[in-house]
Structure formats: structure tokens, C-alpha cells
């Protein structure tokens, strides 16, 4: 039965050890057993002293007999102990074995599964990316989106657009707007998913239906526009450094969309920073900000959001209302402040971008390179086609 005794049991004969084990599993008090068998150890260490028994199981890695350890008597069965290889510490019939052999086997299994997953995804993507578009079919808005995307995410060899979540600045002011841009470009077969994307960015790969789900901001993209290899560099440069002339009022819709999302970005940040809550803007919020941007700049709207958020916080503290109720008053507060400011021609300094809301790649590209007004895109209201630049500057309220 015995293989060898541990050092603390060396003063006991084999018969005494067997007797000790039997009395242990007969639920005798451990303190009494330690005293009878002259063991100067803690009670919890006794089970560890019982010498393991040789098992009929052979270690699959060392090809030697494994041994069976005694289980704690709380299992009501001493035969429930692990069967282990004393050489490599492999545990027989255990999904949780952490011996180096099992760790290596698990590592190889994961690598194989990832490779199979990658190959399956590649087959699907090769088929999906066959659909392409010519450069002549690009709209102006699509060219602007691509220019911003290339500037912040294009690889050095011009072959890959890196994942949006790896950009040093956000693609667009809000995640929803970034997702919208990517989905629009994808639906038009302007960009596709690159087979070089990290396998972990894909989920629920269905080999039967050749489909999968993926993390929108976590995958690499590839350009699907038909461009001759020799013209590729000049094509990318033409998008990243546009030479076309575009008046601000001719780009009003895109300007308004960028401005609206910058207001949403700062609004979300304010709610999260002051109240520790998340907020999903509905149609009312979008309508209020859109109306404000007819006369106010993003900078001025930031100022109103700041004031409205502080007012809501005081309302919560002084009135003891629920956080959600206080947050829901911010938009109404901002709207009231805007109307009063415009009606009374109030004057106030303009607000700056907080570092937590950096200017996005799209905003910077659009204002600096496309309509070429720089910071005026933040400090002026979006210019409607009916309002020339010089007249708009004269009409802007200073409040």
C-alpha cells in the first residue's frame, strides 16, 4: 500500500501510519490524533502527511505509474483524492490540470483553433471583398470621410486601415458617428474587412452559412476602390490632402452634423463626469441642439451645457431629487439659457475644448483641410447657404 513515508511520520511504523489514517477517516478528533502519534504540526497539515498510494494509471507524458493522494475526510470518502504523476505533476482525468504538458497542449489547441477560425474568415472575406467601386463613383462626403480615415489610420504601406479603437484621436466626435461612417463606407463597397484583422475581433463564426459577427471598431479595413497600383499613392494623397475648393456654406449639412455630434460628445462627457451616469440622446435632445446651432457655435453650446449641468446638480442637491430626474433637466436648462441669451443679447466668453473631448480626426480634417477655416469651425455657428461669411460674422450674437 505504501510508497514512502513523509519525514514527519518517520518515527511511526507502517502499521501505525495505516492505523492513523483509519482513525482520521473514522472522524476522531485531529488534536487527539496529533497527541497520540506525537506529531508537532497544525491540524490542517495532517492530511498532507499521508503518503500517496501507487495507482494503476500510467502518466501519458512520463509513462510511469501515477500515485493517488488521500482526500480530506470532509468528502466522506478517502478515495476521492487526485491521481497525480510525481515526476511532472500531471493530474489524471482533470480539466483543470496545470502541469507544463497540459499547458502546452492547451496552447497548441488554441493556436490550432485560431488558425482554423482565421482560414474560415479569410474564405468569407475573399468572397465579400470581390465587390468593388470605382473612384469616380465617390461622393464628396465619402471623400471627406476617407480623407479623415486615411490621415489617422492608414498603414505605412497604404494597404491597411488600422482598427478605429487604435487611433490616437477618435475618428468622429461620438462612437455612434464613427460607426455610421464605417457602415456607410462598407455598405457602398468602398472599404471592406481586412483578412489581416485580429481573429479575436470576430465572434460567432458560422462555417455552414459562411457568416460571422465582429467588433466594428476592432477590425482592420482594406480599400475596395479600383485603383491602379501605380496610381495608388497619388490617389491616397489626393484624398488626404484635397486640392478642391469648397466654400463653408456649400458644406453646411456636414458641418452641422459634425457640430451636432461635438455637442453630444461634450454633453455625454458632462453627464458622466458630474453625475456618473450614461445618457442616450433621443429625438428631443437632437432637435434642441440642432436648433441651437442655427445661431450658436459649438463653443457657445459647450458653455450652455456646462451651465445647465451645474444647475441640474444644484437642483439635485438642494431638492433631493433622483439623479435621473436631475439629468433629464439639463437639456431643458440649456434650451432656456440659449433662448434668453439670444433674446437679451447676453455677452460671455466662449468655452474651450476640454482635454477629455479632443477634436476628432474628421473635425480637424474637415475644418483645416476641406473648408479651411480652422478653429472658426468651433467658434462660429455652422454657416447656412443663405448666409455669407462676412454677414454671418456681423450677425453673430455675443452672449
Asked if pLDDT for residue 389 goes beyond 60, the answer is no
For 271-285, what is each residue's pLDDT tens digit?
Answer: 999 999 999 899 999
CA distance 17 to 3: 12
**CA–CA separation, 399 and 214 (whole Å):** 47
d(C-alpha 309, C-alpha 303), whole Å = 10
Question: 75: pLDDT confidence band, cut at 50, 70 and 90?
Answer: low
pLDDT-wise least confident of 76-80, 173-177, 286-290, 344-348: 76-80
* β-pair partners for 226: 134
Angstrom distance (rounded) from CA 275 to CA 326: 9
Q: 336-379 pLDDT, tens per residue?
A: 999 988 888 776 557 889 999 999 999 999 999 999 999 999 99
pLDDT at 346: 73
Window from 99-103, 144-148, 297-301 with minimum mean pLDDT: 99-103
Mind listing the pLDDT tens digit for each residue in 207-242?
A: 777 788 899 999 999 999 988 777 888 999 999 999
Cβ-based burial of 71 (10 A; exposed 0-12, middle 13-18, buried ≥19): middle
Query: 181-198 as b/e, with b when 16 or more CB fall inside 10 Å?
Result: bbeebbebbbbbbbbebe
Query: 140-153 and 232-240 are packed helices; what angle lies between their axes, rounded to 10 degrees?
Result: 100
**Lowest mean pLDDT segment, chosen from 250-259, 304-313, 385-394:** 385-394
Q: Are 349 and 358 in contact (CB under 8 A)?
A: no
Residue 394 clears pLDDT 60, i.e. is over it: no
Residues near 144 by beta carbon (within 8 Å), at least 6 away in sequence: 254, 362, 365, 366, 370
State which of 29-43, 173-187, 205-219, 243-257 shows the largest mean pLDDT. Answer: 173-187
Name the pLDDT band for 398 (thresholds 50, 70, 90): very low
Cβ–Cβ under 8 Å, residues 255 and 383:
yes
pTM: 0.76
pLDDT at 78: 53
Contact, 52 vs 65, CB < 8 A?
no
pLDDT at 104 over 90: yes
User: Which range among 1-5, 99-103, 132-136, 377-381 shows the weakest confidence by mean pLDDT?
Assistant: 1-5
Which candidate, 241, 243, 289, places its Cα nearest to that of 267? 289
Alpha-carbon distance 113 to 211, whole Å? 17
Distance CA 326, CA 33 (A): 67
Contact 265, 357 (CB under 8 A): yes
The burial of 320, by beta-carbon neighbours within 10 Å (0-12 exposed, 13-18 middle, 19 or more buried), is given as exposed
What pLDDT band is residue 28 in, cutting at 50, 70 and 90?
Answer: confident
- Helix H, strand E, coil C: the string for the chain is CCCCCCHHHCCCCHHHHHHHHHHHHCCCCHHHHHHHCCCCCCHHHHHHHCCCEEEEEECCCCCCEEEECCCCHHHCCHHHCCEECCCCCCECCCCCCCCHHHHHHHHHHHHHHHHHHHHHHHHHHHHHCCCCEEHHHCCHHHHHHHHHHHHHHECCCCCCECCHHHCCCCCCCCHHHHHHHHHHHHHCCCEEECCCCCHHHEEEEECCCCEEEECCCCCCEEECEECCHHHHHHHHHHHHCCCCCCCHHHHHHHHHHHHHHHHHHHHHHHHHHHHCCCCCCCHHHHHHHHHHCCCCCHHHHHHHHHHHHHHHHHHHHHHCCCHHHHHCCHHHHHHHHHHHHHHHCCCCCCCCCCCCCCCCHHHHHHHHHHCCCCCHHHHCCCCCCCCCHHHHHHHCCCC
Q: 35-47 pLDDT, tens per residue? A: 888 888 888 788 7
Q: Report the share of the chain in percent with pLDDT over 70.
A: 92
pLDDT band at 180 (very low <50, low <70, confident <90, very high): very high
Q: What is the pLDDT of residue 92?
A: 84
Q: What is the pLDDT of residue 289?
A: 97
Question: Tell me, what's the pLDDT at 126?
Answer: 87
Of 3-12, 90-99, 291-300, the one with minimum mean pLDDT is 3-12
Amino acid at each position: 500500500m505504501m510508497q514512502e513515508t513523509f519525514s514527519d511520520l518517520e518515527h511511526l511504523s507502517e502499521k501505525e501510519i495505516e492505523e492513523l489514517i483509519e482513525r482520521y477517516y473514522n472522524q476522531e478528533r485531529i488534536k487527539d490524533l496529533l497527541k497520540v502519534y506525537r506529531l508537532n504540526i497544525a491540524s490542517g497539515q495532517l492530511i498532507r502527511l499521508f503518503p500517496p498510494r501507487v495507482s494503476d494509471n500510467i502518466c501519458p507524458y512520463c509513462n510511469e505509474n501515477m500515485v493517488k493522494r488521500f482526500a480530506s475526510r470532509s468528502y466522506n470518502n478517502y478515495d476521492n483524492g487526485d491521481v497525480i504523476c510525481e515526476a511532472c505533476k500531471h493530474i489524471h482525468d482533470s480539466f483543470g490540470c496545470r502541469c507544463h504538458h497540459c499547458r502546452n497542449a492547451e496552447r497548441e489547441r488554441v493556436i490550432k483553433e485560431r488558425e482554423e477560425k482565421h482560414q474560415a474568415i479569410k474564405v468569407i472575406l475573399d468572397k465579400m471583398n470581390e465587390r468593388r467601386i470605382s473612384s469616380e463613383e465617390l461622393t464628396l462626403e465619402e471623400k471627406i470621410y476617407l480623407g479623415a480615415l486615411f490621415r489617422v489610420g492608414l498603414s505605412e504601406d497604404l494597404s491597411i486601415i488600422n482598427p478605429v479603437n487604435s487611433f490616437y484621436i477618435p475618428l468622429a466626435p461620438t462612437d455612434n458617428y464613427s460607426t455610421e461612417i464605417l457602415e456607410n463606407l462598407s455598405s457602398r463597397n468602398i472599404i471592406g474587412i481586412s483578412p489581416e484583422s485580429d481573429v479575436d475581433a470576430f465572434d460567432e463564426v458560422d462555417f455552414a452559412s459562411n457568416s460571422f459577427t465582429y467588433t466594428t471598431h476592432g477590425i482592420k479595413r482594406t480599400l475596395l476602390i479600383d485603383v491602379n497600383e501605380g496610381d495608388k499613392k497619388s490617389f491616397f494623397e489626393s484624398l488626404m490632402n484635397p486640392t478642391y475648393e469648397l466654400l463653408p456654406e456649400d458644406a453646411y449639412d456636414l458641418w452641422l452634423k459634425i457640430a451636432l455630434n461635438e455637442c453630444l460628445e461634450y454633453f455625454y462627457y458632462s453627464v458622466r463626469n458630474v453625475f456618473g451616469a450614461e445618457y442616450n440622446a433621443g429625438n428631443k435632445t437632437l432637435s434642441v441642439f440642432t436648433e441651437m446651432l442655427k445661431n450658436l457655435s459649438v463653443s457657445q453650446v459647450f458653455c450652455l451645457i456646462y451651465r445647465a449641468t451645474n444647475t441640474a446638480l444644484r437642483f439635485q442637491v438642494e431638492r433631493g431629487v433622483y439623479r435621473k430626474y436631475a439629468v433629464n433637466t439639463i437639456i431643458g436648462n440649456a434650451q432656456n439659457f440659449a433662448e434668453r441669451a439670444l433674446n437679451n443679447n447676453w455677452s460671455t466668453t466662449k468655452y474651450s475644448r476640454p482635454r477629455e473631448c479632443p477634436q476628432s480626426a474628421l473635425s480637424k480634417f474637415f475644418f483645416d483641410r476641406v473648408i479651411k477655416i480652422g478653429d472658426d469651425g468651433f467658434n462660429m455657428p455652422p454657416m447656412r447657404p443663405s448666409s455669407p461669411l462676412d454677414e454671418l460674422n456681423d450677425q453673430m450674437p455675443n452672449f
